[in-house]
Structure 1
Amino acid sequence: MVVIGFHASHEQVAPEALLQAVRDAEAAGFDAAMCSDHLAPWSLAQGESGFAWSWIGAALALTRFPIGLVTAPGQRYHPVITAQAVATLGAMFPGRFWAALGSGEALNEHVTGDAWPDKQHRDRRLRECAEVIRALVAGERVNADGEVRVHEARVWSRPDAPPDLLAAAVSPETAAEVAEWADGLITVGTDPAAAAQTHDAYRAAGGTGPTAVQIHVSLAESDAEALALARDQWAHSTIPPDRMWDLEQPEEFDALADPTEDRLRAGVLVESSAAALAARVAAVAEGFDRIYLHHVGQDQADFLARCERELLPELRRLL
C-alpha cells in the first residue's frame, strides 16, 4: 500500500501553527508526515523558518505516525551534530523517525562564511557525511579528513536500530549516484515522466530502499484562487533548478521568479477539484512507495479538511 504523507513547510508556517497542522493531518487520515529543514524561506512572502530539529521532536511526541525530514549535513551542520540528532530521535521514537540527506542550497548554508562548493564537491561531501553519520549512529569512533573533518567522535545515546538515512535527489544522475549508500530515495516533482526517470535511475543503479516523492499542490475553491496561492507562495519553483542551489537570499529568488501562469502550473499542481487533483497526484506517484503532499498555501486548515472529506478517499481509490 502506498503511504500518503503530509509535508510540513517550515518556510511558510510558524512552528506553533505547523505543529497543530501536523496533528490535524494525522486526524484527517494521513499515514505519515515529513518536514523541510531551512534556515531561510525561499521568498519574502513566505516569511518563516523554524528550527526543524526542535519542531520534529515535539511533532513526534504529539502524534503516532512516522515523521522524517530532509536535511543537508556538511556546512551549516557538522555531520557529528547531525548524527547525534538522528540518534536521539531514533532512540526516543523507535521506528518512527527517518532523515533524508541532501547536498543543500546556498540559501541555508552560506551563513557559515565558508565557500559554497560546486555540485561535484557537494555530492562528494554528502557521501562522506552519510558515511560519518551512519558509523556514529552505529556506535563507532570516527575520524575523517576529507571534504569534512572529524576527530575522535562518538555518539553516546543511540537507538537499538538506526533510523533510515534516505537520500534527496532531484535529477536521475544524482538518484543513480546515491543508490550505493542510501536506505531509500526522496525526490520532488509534479511531472510524471520526470519523476519516473528519477525513480527508475535509482532502481537501475541498485537502489533497493523505499522511494518517495514530494508533490507541490494548490487546492482551493476556485482555480483562480488556487493559482493565486501558487503565485504568492511558490513562485520560486519557476526558477531553473541549476540556478536555485546557488542563490543566497530570498530577495534573489523573488527577483528571478517568473510567476506567469504556464510556469506556475508546471511547478505546482493547481486545482479546484479534489478528484482532478487526486488523478494528477496518482500519475506522478506511480511506482513510488510513499508520497508527501505539500499544499503551498499558508493556511493548511481548509486543505486538510478537504483532504479528509474528498482528496484522501479518492487517492486511496486510485493508488
Structure 2
Amino acid sequence: MPLYGLHASHEQIHPRALLDAVVLAEQAGFDAAMCSDHFSPWSARQGQSGFAWSWLGAAMQATGLPFGAVNAPGQRYHPAIIAQAIATLSAMYPDRFWTALGTGEASNEHITGQGWPRKDVRSARLLECVEVIRALLDGEEVSCDGLVTVDRARLWTRPERRPALFGAAVSAETAAWCARWADGLITVSGPIEHLKRVVGAYRDAGGQGKLALQVHLSWAEDEDTARHIAHEQWRTNVFRPPIPWDLELAAHFDAVAEFVTPDDTARAVNVSADLGRHAEWLRSYADLGFDEIYLHHVGQRQEEFITAFGESVLPRLAEVDSWS
C-alpha cells in the first residue's frame, strides 16, 4: 500500500494554521506530509507565503511524521545554505526528511533582481547545485566556479545517513533527465496516460528510488461548493509551461486566469463531493506504481477535509489494498 500524506500549501494558508493541519492529519491517519517552498503565492486570493524551513522545524517537532519539501536552489537560495538546512533537519530528525529539487519559477526567484535564465541554463544550474548539495552532505569541502559559486564550504553538522534528493518533474522529458541524478521522483497529478509516460520515462532512463505524487483535489459536502473552492483558489494553476515558469507576480497569474472557467479548473483538480470518487482517483494513481501520494486539498479550510478523508477515504484505500 502506498503511503498517503498531506501536502501543506504555504501559498494558501497561514503557517500557524498549517501546523495545526499537520498535527490533525497525523491524528486522522495520514502517514506523512510535504510542503511547498515559495516566496509568493500564485494568486492574491491565496494571500500567504510563509518560510518553509522555519515551519518544517516546528512541524517535525510537533509530529512524528516524515516530511518532504520541494526546493529550487541556485538563485533565491545558495545551494550550500540548502545543504545546511537539509543536514540540520535530518540530523535532528533522522530518516524523516527528503527534499525534491527543481529549476524553480520566476514568481519566487525574481526577487533577487537577477535575470531569469533560459530553461536550459536553469537545468544546468540545478545540476551544479545537486552536485554541491550532495557533496556537502557527504562531508566534502566544496568549491565551485560555474553557474553557482562556492568557496571552500563544509558542513560541520550532518546526519548519519544522507537524506534522499528527489527530482521534481512535470513532463516525461524532465523525468528522464532527473533519472541521471535523482534518488527518486516527484510529479503532480494529471491524466493517467500522461502519468504513465512520466513514470515510464523515469524508469526507462534508469531512474531509481521512490515515486511520489502530489494530487490536487477539491472536496466539500456538496458539488457546487467543491467546484467553487477549486475555481476560487486554483484557477491560476491550470496552465502548462512555460506560463507557470516565467510569470513574475501574483497579479500576472490573476490576469491570465481571468477567463478560466470552473470546468477548466476541474480538468486540473480532482473535484467531487463524493468521497468514494476521490478514493477511486487515488487508487488509480497507486496502481501506476507511486509509493507516496500527497493529498493537496486546494481550499484554505483544511480541518473538514482532513477529518473526512481520515474517516472515510484512507480506511477505504487500506481495505482495498488488503484484498489486492
Q: Which residue of 2 aligns with 1:42?
A: 42
1:170-181 to structure 2, matched below 5 A, reads 170-181=170-181
Compared CA separation, residues 318 and 121, structure 1 to 2 (3 A): farther
State the 1:240 CA deviation. 2.4
Q: 1:304 aligns with which of 306, 309, 318?
A: 306
Q: 1:317 aligns with which of 306, 316, 319?
A: 319
Residues 21-66 of structure 1: per-residue CA shift (max 9 Å, x gap): 0010111101100000000100000000000000001100111110
Residues 283-314 of structure 1: per-residue CA shift (max 9 Å, x gap): 23321111000000000000011011111112
Q: What is the DSSP-based 3-state SS (H/G/I as helix, E as strand, rest coil) of the residue aligned with 2:90?
A: helix
- Distance (Å, rounded) in 1 between the aligned partners of 2:316 and 2:265: 25
- Distance (Å, rounded) in 1 between the aligned partners of 2:271 and 2:103: 29
- Distance (Å, rounded) in 2 between the aligned partners of 1:175 and 1:146: 24
Q: What is the DSSP-based 3-state SS (H/G/I as helix, E as strand, rest coil) of the residue aligned with 2:247?
A: coil
- Distance (Å, rounded) in 2 between the aligned partners of 1:287 and 1:215: 14
On the 8 A contact 2:107/2:249 being kept in 1, the answer is yes
- Percent identical across equivalent pairs? 54
State the 1:113 CA deviation. 0.6
1:151-162 to structure 2, matched below 5 A, reads 151-162=151-162
Q: What is the DSSP-based 3-state SS (H/G/I as helix, E as strand, rest coil) of the residue aligned with 1:144?
A: strand
- Distance (Å, rounded) in 1 between the aligned partners of 2:283 and 2:193: 12
Q: Which residue of 2 aligns with 1:150?
A: 150
Residues 243-276 of structure 1: per-residue CA shift (max 9 Å, x gap): 1100000011111114313211111000001001
Q: Which amino acid aligns with 2:251?
A: E
Residues 164-217 of structure 1: per-residue CA shift (max 9 Å, x gap): 111111111010001111110000123211112111111010011100010000
1:60-99 to structure 2, matched below 5 A, reads 60-99=60-99
Q: Is 1:5 equivalent to 2:17 in the alignment?
A: no
Q: Which residue of 1 aligns with 2:282?
A: 281
Q: Which amino acid aligns with 1:156?
A: W
Q: Which runs of 5+ in 1 are unaligned?
A: none
Q: Which amino acid aligns with 2:213?
A: V
- Distance (Å, rounded) in 1 between the aligned partners of 2:306 and 2:76: 33
- Distance (Å, rounded) in 2 between the aligned partners of 1:89 and 1:21: 20
Q: What is the DSSP-based 3-state SS (H/G/I as helix, E as strand, rest coil) of the residue aligned with 2:267?
A: helix
State the 1:81 CA deviation. 0.4
On the 8 A contact 1:238/1:263 being kept in 2, the answer is yes
Q: Which residue of 1 aligns with 2:269?
A: 268
- Distance (Å, rounded) in 2 between the aligned partners of 1:61 and 1:30: 17
Given the two structures, how large is their TM-score scaled by the length of structure 2?
0.97
- Distance (Å, rounded) in 1 between the aligned partners of 2:244 and 2:190: 17
- Distance (Å, rounded) in 2 between the aligned partners of 1:112 and 1:259: 31
1:128-277 to structure 2, matched below 5 A, reads 128-257=128-257, 258-277=259-278
Across the aligned residues of Structure 1 and Structure 2, the Cα RMSD in angstroms comes to 1.0
State the 1:277 CA deviation. 1.0
Deviates more, 1:306-315 or 1:59-68: 306-315
On the 8 A contact 1:70/1:168 being kept in 2, the answer is yes
On the 8 A contact 1:190/1:216 being kept in 2, the answer is no
Corresponding residue pairs, total: 319
1:113-124 to structure 2, matched below 5 A, reads 113-124=113-124
- Distance (Å, rounded) in 2 between the aligned partners of 1:125 and 1:163: 21
On the 8 A contact 1:191/1:284 being kept in 2, the answer is no
Q: Which amino acid aligns with 2:301?
A: D
On the 8 A contact 2:42/2:237 being kept in 1, the answer is no
Q: Which runs of 4+ in 1 moved over 4 A?
A: none
Q: Which amino acid aligns with 1:308?
A: G
On the 8 A contact 2:228/2:262 being kept in 1, the answer is no
Q: Which amino acid aligns with 1:269?
A: N
- Distance (Å, rounded) in 2 between the aligned partners of 1:242 and 1:272: 32
Q: What is the DSSP-based 3-state SS (H/G/I as helix, E as strand, rest coil) of the residue aligned with 2:167?
A: strand
Q: What is the DSSP-based 3-state SS (H/G/I as helix, E as strand, rest coil) of the residue aligned with 2:160?
A: coil
On the 8 A contact 1:196/1:287 being kept in 2, the answer is no
Q: Which amino acid aligns with 2:22?
A: V
Q: Which amino acid aligns with 1:317?
A: E
Q: Which amino acid aligns with 2:308?
A: R
Deviates more, 1:236-245 or 1:86-95: 236-245
Q: Which runs of 5+ in 2 are unaligned?
A: none
On the 8 A contact 1:279/1:318 being kept in 2, the answer is no
